Each structure stands twice: as structure tokens, then as C-alpha cells.
Amino acid sequence: MGYLDGFRVTFRKLFEKRLTRDYSKHSEAEGGGKAVKPVRLHGRHVLNRYEDGMEKCIGCELCAGVCPARCIYVRGADNPADDPVSPGERYGYIYEINYLRCIHCDLCVEACPTEAITETKLFEFSFTNRDDAIYTKAELMVGDDGLPRMLPWEDWSDIDAVAQHTSAWVRATAPSGAAAYEGRVQWSAELGFGVRPPEQGQSAPGSQADTGEAGAILGHAGEPEGDAEADRPAGSEGDEHHGGQG
Amino acid sequence: MIIVQVLAADPLLSDGIGLAEVLIVLLKTLVAFGLLLVSVILMIWFERKVISDLQNRVGPNKAGPWGLLQTLADGLKLIMKEDLIPAKADRRVFVLAPFLSAVPAFVTFAVVPIGGGFDGEKFGAISLFGHDTYLQLADPPIGVLLVLAMSSIAVYGVMLAGWSSGSKWPLVGGVRGTAQMVSYEAALSLAVVSVVLLAGSLSTHDIVVAQAGSGYELFGAVGIPRWNIIATGVVPFVIFLVAATAELNRPPFDLVEAEQELVGGFHTEYSSFRFALFYLAEFMNTITMSAIIVTLFFGGPAGPILFGLPGWLWGIVWFTLKLFAFLFMFVWVRATLPRFRYDQLMTIGWKALIPLALGWVLVLAAINIGRDEGWNMVVVVGGSLVVLVAAWAALTAAVDVARARHLSEEAEEEALV
């Protein structure tokens, strides 16, 4: 009965278990609540600080330059000699992100040379006017405990579960562009968190491709050169980022 | 007293009209109106909930227990919204159209018998404040015609809404709706004629009475109810079902408001209360059409009296159960079937349903005459079916020839170009 087969399909659905999670019920016990978020989920940004409280941002505007939505506005300024804001010459004097434009692509995080800007897992924030949508530097900068500022219109009820994960720590591309960095700590210490544990999981841990290439890169202590290619085992093609960044 | 004669089938009105009769009719009107409104509210919830279940979703579950108050919340939201009339709209017609859609839906329900014990001697009449009356708002001798007339008027709601909006999507939706509803109206009416032939009456009450009673005997003990679906040989029921779905503009025949093509179809430009009226009419029509199907083919409120409750209450129980079966079926169809293409719609209507309905009416008429005249039934039935099949073959051949000729003409024209 070709025409009527569909009726059996839909009828069977009546008795199947629903997969929908009742988000509006706030606890797991009620069968609802927030789901566990993937570690690479892109939420609203934070500006990180070093463990001594110095800001990581150096006002280089690379994030603003790479932003496809052009939602970031940065102005750098020279550090005051007597009271520097960041280690080094300059710091981010103005830093604003317009969340009416941001598409959470994480390209700013990829571009940042100092891991100053990262993304949290927060996506539940609904402002009621356009001024609130533009986050200023004061709002983006982490507090003295290293946690994001929790603004009144943001739902941070699961901060305990997500605070450990900001997307820079697990970003898709490793700092120099080599996937082989996985399994090794590549991030500077952060206020409130210190040195975060290394990322795992892009390739099988301990595999030949992983350690061999990483060893070659790290052994040169700089950007990978031609001889790193020679060390690479035959099975590890497809590491496209590698040459392009060198 | 022409009006009295039109309504006279109800025993309430047979002894003249006094204050008591008027009050009883008023009470029945209020009850029918309220009942229909409440059931529409529940129907919208039921449809959304069941279609969610059929699609492995949860559906409305926030407003009230199990989301029961969702419709009220939606209604409130709609009424509070801004009421827009487009600048290019024909204002008067634009305002009128929603009512042309909603009022027939109400009126049709007036002739549906919703209860009463049909096993006893009173034939479905109950005693209300010492007066015998039927459990239906009105029982005009032309009941079924009223149903068809109202469903024709409902076409104007769709057509005028599309026409008066001053916008292209509603216009296309309205044109589609007109063609579709006019086409399927014919098949619908012919299916009804089969029922009327058997019942010998246009009154919905009489049609139910004709289906009540002990039923056909099968293997001695088990009785099949004398429902018209069996008596008319299932085919008119199937035709009526398909045509009714098209008449209701429900999927898979919802070309009038095909969202993917026409935004909202005929009600694209409507908002606020006027849109709510269309929405209301759509679901109310589903309920009334299901009720009509139950009345015409499934014995309406007629059914056995099992235990405890008085007979008239059992009538309501049976009617509700049958109604629910069809409401569920409509939702089930909506959850399952994809929309027809416009040419498919017209093909089904004109080349399949109408000829089949017409042929079946003729067969039933022949059988009826044969029974009255005492002819050999085997010959009558066999002969009728042979004629039916032959006619069907002739029609198919004619359609094929026409198509072939059309194609060859097209080819010739192309060759000339």
C-alpha cells in the first residue's frame, strides 16, 4: 500500500520517546535544565588578564581587522610608564564589541596574538536597548577572580559548569597553526585559572603524527621550517595549516 | 408560517410557538454556540498536541496544564495586536470577508444532531422543561442542503479576502481557493446525494434515524450497524472524505495558504481579530465537517445504550467518540501527507472524484429502483457495475485521446515555429 505507508510511520511516532529537553525546567531532576555545553561552543567574549592582574590586550586591533561582522572597535594607547596596564608597550585603551552584529565566529580569538580575547559559553543574554548591546571594555574584562563580569541581563546560572572552559583554550587552530600542538600546554597563565590543562582530542592521543611532529616543531623553538616536513611520518597528510603559517 | 414549516420537523415547534418554545430555542442556541466555541479552543490545542506527538515533538506545554490554555493565550495575543488594513485594500469587502468565513462554520453546526437516544420510541427527542425536542439546534427538512449552501458561502470568505487585500499573494491564494472549492463542491454534493437516496430525506435527523436500529445480522450474533458507510458501499464516504478535506483547505489540499509559495495565502494581509476569525473558522469548519461526516455516514449519535446512563446521554457519548476519531484522522492526514500540486488537485477533483461520485449515484439509484420493482438483484448490481466500469474505461480513453491530441498539436505548433 504505497500511498498509505506514511500513515504507519507517523502513527508509530506517537509511542516513541520524546528527545526534547524541557529547558524551562531548571533542574536535571525534573527532566529539564540546561544541557552540557560542548567545549567549543562560542558565546559572548571576555578580555583576559595575566595572573598578576595585567591585561593581556596590547591594542593591536588584529581582532577588529579580522572581524567579518566589523563589530569590534579597538583603540590602543601607550602604556603609562609609572602604572602600566599591560606588559609591553601598548594596551587596549578602548575595546567595544557590538553584540547586535557579532556572529560568534571566533575569528577574533584566532587572530589574537596574546590570547587576550576569548569566548565564554554564555549565549543567554537578551538586552532591551541598543546601548546595552555594545559591551565596553569594563564589561568585557574579567574580574579579579578571573571570572566574567555577570551583567544583569545575562543568565550565568551554570557558571560553575562552564567557567573552566573558554573557547581559546580549545580553539580549532593551535597558536602557530599546527594541530600537532594538542596535548601540550600552549597558553599563558590566566588570572583565576593559572595554567590551564592542555587540550586533548584532535587526533588519537600519543599517536605517531601527534608527538612526532610536535617534537619537531618544539625542538626548533621557532616557526617550523623545511626539515620539520621531512620528519613527518607518511600517514599524516592533510595538516594543511602547517606550511601556510611558516 | 413559512418559517415554522421550514423548522417544523422538530417536535418542539409542531404545536405552535409560545414563549416557552422561544426560550428553549434561545437556550439551545446559546448552548450550541458555547459548545462550538469551547470545542474549537480544545480542537486547536488537540491538533497542535497530536501533530506534535505524530512528529516526535512535545507541542504546547507551558500555558496551563498540558498547555490546555495555549489557545486562549494565542487568542488574547491576536486580539491585542494592531489591526492593519492595507492602503490598497477594498476596505468594506476586506472587513466583511472574515465574517463570511466564520459565520457559515457556526450555522452548519446548527443542523448536526449531537445527542439523543435513537433506540427508543422518541427517535432522538428528549424532554426539556416538559417539551419534546431534538438535541440539535434546528432540524430543517432541507438540512443537508443547508450544509452544502453554507460550505458554498464559505468560498466567498476565502475568495473575497484574497481579492480585497490588494496584494498579489492573497489574490493567488483566493483564486486557487475559489477553483478548488468550486471543483470539490460538486464531488461533495454527489457523495451526499448517495446518502440522501438511501435515507429518503434531506433532514439530518431523519438520516440519523435511518441509520439507527439493530443493524445487519452477520453470522447470526454479531450485528453490523446500519451506517450509511456500509449501506452506500464505502465509495461515497471516501469521496466525501477527500472532497471535505479539500473543502476545508486542510493539508494535503491547503494550496490556498501554501506557506512556501504564498506566504499566508488569502489571509496574508490580515492581522489581529480578523485573522483570529479566519483561524477560528478554519478549525471550526474541521469540527463541523467531522460532525457532518459522522452524521451522514456513521449514524451520528445513534448507538447502543450499554448501562447506567440515560439513552440521550449515550447519544452524546457516541457522537463525541465518533467525532474524535475523525478529528484525529484529519490531524493524522495533516501530519503525514505532503501538499498536492495544483494540477494534481484539479486532476483528482475533475477526472477521478466527480465521475466516480456521479457513477456511484447512478448505480445506487438503479439498485434502489430494482429493489422497489422486485427485479433480480444480482443482475441489477452486476449490470450496474459493468456499466460503471465501461463508463470509467470510456472516460479514461477520452482523457487519453484528448491528451494525445493536445500533445501532437503542441508538437505541430513547435514545428511551425
Helix and strand tally (H, E) in chain B? 15, 4
> Which range is least confidently modeled, A227-231, B140-144, B195-199?
A227-231
CB atoms within 10 A of CB B417: 5
Of B54, B58, B61, the CB nearest to A13: B54
Domain ranges of chain A: 45-170, 179-236
> Mean pLDDT: which of A57-66, A185-194, B165-174, B295-304 is highest?
A57-66
Measured in angstroms, the CA of A35 and the nearest CA of chain B are apart by 17
User: Considering CB atoms only, which of A7, A19, A24 is closest to B336?
Assistant: A7
List the single range of A98-107, A154-163, B76-85 with lowest mean pLDDT. Answer: A154-163
Does A13 lie at the interface with B, CB-CB under 8 angstroms? yes
Neighbour-count burial of A4, counting CB atoms closer than 10 A to its CB (0-12 exposed, 13-18 middle, 19+ buried): exposed
CB contact A8 to B (< 8 Å) = no
Average pLDDT over residues A85-103: 92
Which CATH number is correct for A45-170, 2.60.40.1530, 3.30.70.3270, 2.40.100.10, 3.30.420.40? 3.30.70.3270
Residue A70 has pLDDT above 90, yes or no: yes
Q: Which residues of B touch A22 (CB under 8 A)?
A: 58, 61
Are the beta carbons of B56 and A22 separated by less than 8 Å? no
Give the one of A14, A18, A20 whose C-beta lies nearest to B54's C-beta.
A14
pTM for the whole structure: 0.73
Q: Which residue of A has its CA nearest to B61?
A: A22
**Element spanning B208, H or E:** helix B204-211
Q: Which residue has the higher pLDDT, B158 or B312?
A: B158
Q: Tell me the pLDDT of chain A averaged across its residues.
A: 76
Q: Name which of A7, A16, A20 is nearest B332 (Cβ-Cβ).
A: A7
How close, in Å, is residue A14 to chain B by CA atoms?
5
Question: Which tens digit of pLDDT belongs to each residue from B20-73?
Answer: 778 888 888 888 888 888 989 889 999 999 998 888 888 888 888 888 888 889
pLDDT tens digits, one per residue of A201-242: 555 555 544 444 445 544 444 444 444 444 444 444 444 444
Higher pLDDT, A136 or A9: A136
User: Which residues does chain A have within 8 Å of residue B337's beta carbon, measured at their own beta carbons?
Assistant: 6
The average confidence (pLDDT) of chain B is 83
CA distance to partner chain B, nearest, from residue A58 (Å): 49
What residues of chain A lie within 8 A of the CB of B335, using their CB? Answer: 10
Domains of chain B, by residue range, sit at 2-340, 358-403
Cα atoms in the Cβ-side hemisphere of radius 13 Å centred on B236 = 30
Query: Has the ipTM of the complex gone over 0.85?
Result: no
B50, B56, B339, B344: best to mutate for the A interface, most A CBs within 10 A:
B56
